Structure 1
Amino acid sequence: MDDGDRAALGRERKLIVSAVSTQLVDRVAIVTGAASGIGRATALALAQAGAAVIVADVNEEGARVVAKEIEARGQRARGQIVDVGDEESIVAMIDAAVDGFGGLDILHNNAADSDPALLERDLEVVGLDAEVWDRTLRINLRGPMLGCKHAIPRMIERGGGSIINTSSASGLTGDSTRAAYGASKAGLQSLTQYVATQYGKQGVRCNAIAPGVISTPALEANVPPEQIAVYSGNTLTPRLGRPEDVAAAAVFLASDAAAFITGQILSVDGGLLAHHPAMSEIRALAGAGS
């Protein structure tokens, strides 16, 4: 083997190591909606991978609790209040990352308006109050846009970065209710591809995760057990999703292991949307026939 071959082999080994690495040492991340559920799990996972994390949420106390949990493990974090519907609040959040940790490399736009009182009013289109539509899009779509707007210049200063948007399976299909929520998540998927297209050459990647049914305290508190059983019957895995499943995908997309992945919508739904829509009913008929 000559020197040229050795150099080529060395480059190949470096590429292999980079391709499998999800380590985020010396990276700075922001996670919105991080006081609970998917956001909390992602903040913990990013910190575990080595990133310094701004734990951002409209629930300031909840954000600080999660930040303290991270710090108790010997990792770096800071709790930060944010109202993603307010541009000045988002600017303050970005500044907190830059001033506190020296820059910004990762943004997980995870916050959404999940107020049960709002969701109960998110009906079919004819019965939908315009105020519900406006409020939903303000948080679920306008908020991530503002996050991207102010994060991207900071990422470019450091040679690039990764933006991960939490979309939803609801943004990929129609349903009999929750028209505003579904439309906001579909819009977020489109925004993801526009950001990837416009800033990819400057080193900024942007992807979305579309979770299916994720078992959280909010789900269990607001969804009847019978409905959860229906979701379970339409999921191809032995269990429903967990926040940690989405967090693992977010860490991957944030890392160098995903360096050639951008503009994609990654479904983390246990196969919810991968099968014939009448599958569970057909299974029931087959069982009754036997």
Structure 2
Amino acid sequence: MASGLKKVALVAGAARGIGLAAATRFLADGWHVAMLDILGDTLRATVDALDRTEATLALEADVSDPESVQAAVEQVRRQFGRIDALVNNAGIAVFKPLLDVTLEEWQRVLAVNLTGPFLMTQAVAPIMRDQGSGAIVNITSISGLRASTLRVAYGTSKAGLAHLTRQQAAELGEYGIRVNAVAPGPVDTAMAKAVHTPAIRADYHDHIPLNRYGLERELANAICFLCGDQAEYITGQVLAVDGGFDAAGVGLPTLRGERRNE
């Protein structure tokens, strides 16, 4: 890349939460950022609040719609001339018992969480191929690495995304494109605050070795690392950013209770 030419990141699901944190971190690192979300009004308000007109682009699009995706990616190419990083963060969840999930809910979750990253990568990868380099980070979830209740569609979609990450890495590496995934554990996002009751939060704290929820900026740090030059020989990996949640098994709450009673 020519000296002085700004790198460009395309972040899907960027209106709030982890996507916004990643976009903000890219901007702080001197990148230009195209921010895509289906929540158009929220996205535009977010981009306006960033007050970085020359470095940002707001794109209202549904990642599960091929035409919408292609149009958005083409707009990024016209605006900035290149795409160096793609962050597939757009996602939805349905929290219901397995027997209560409707076919429509199942299909919509898989369409956004799994088909979305497939379509986004298909649209962006040719641009990266022609550049000779690029980095893609898919946002999976700890729910895709270990099963839990009320997450049959969400967890399955994220498990599929973890394998899609490896498949993309295997096939796109020859073009200089790296593909990795970040699997967040419990994070203090608006979604978590809305659906995690105090009892659920206490359960998570009991089972996380670091004994707290993650912060959006901590996820952004991992995402931007994987998109940057310091990760130039890392591809096909799923990095759990979860305070040790996936590493821990049964017994941690009991052990902590015994220590408190010593």
TM-score (ref. length: structure 1): 0.84
User: Structure 1 vs Structure 2: percent identity of aligned residues?
Assistant: 35
Return the alpha-carbon distance in structure 2 between the equivalents of residues 105 and 191 of structure 1.
20
Kindly state the Cα deviation for residue 67 of structure 1 after the two structures are TM-superposed: 2.2
* 2:19 alignment partner in structure 1: 39
3-state DSSP class of the match of 1:83? coil
Residue pair 1:25, 1:49 contacting (<8 A) in 2 also: no
Is 2:173 aligned against 1:200? Answer: yes
Deviations 1:69-128 (A, max 9, x none): 3334x86101110101111111111112101111111100000014xxxx233x22x443
Structure 1 window deviating more from structure 2 (196-205 vs 226-235): it is: 226-235
Kindly state the Cα deviation for residue 273 of structure 1 after the two structures are TM-superposed: 1.1
3-state DSSP class of the match of 2:136? strand
Aligned partner (choices 35, 42, 49) of residue 62 of structure 1 = 42
5+ residue gaps, structure 1, are 1-23
Is 2:62 aligned against 1:89? Answer: no
Name the larger-Rg structure: 1
TM-score (ref. length: structure 2): 0.93
**RMSD after superposition:** 1.8
3-state DSSP class of the match of 2:213? coil
Dislocated runs of 4+, deviation >3 Å: 69-72, 287-290
- How many residue pairs get aligned? The number is 259
Corresponding letter in the other structure for 1:81? E
Cα 1:252–1:289 change in 2 (3 A) is: closer
Kindly state the Cα deviation for residue 238 of structure 1 after the two structures are TM-superposed: 4.7
**1:79-158 equivalences in 2 (<5 Å):** 79-114=58-93, 119-121=94-96, 123-124=97-98, 126-158=99-131
Residue pair 1:29, 1:107 contacting (<8 A) in 2 also: yes
Corresponding letter in the other structure for 2:134? G
Is 2:207 aligned against 1:229? Answer: no
Corresponding letter in the other structure for 1:164? V
Residue pair 2:95, 2:150 contacting (<8 A) in 1 also: no
Kindly state the Cα deviation for residue 211 of structure 1 after the two structures are TM-superposed: 0.2
Kindly state the Cα deviation for residue 59 of structure 1 after the two structures are TM-superposed: 0.9
Deviations 1:136-172 (A, max 9, x none): 1000000000001111001111112000000000000
* 2:246 alignment partner in structure 1: 273
* 1:51 alignment partner in structure 2: 31
Return the alpha-carbon distance in structure 2 between the equivalents of residues 277 and 130 of structure 1.
34
Return the alpha-carbon distance in structure 2 between the equivalents of residues 247 and 287 of structure 1.
34
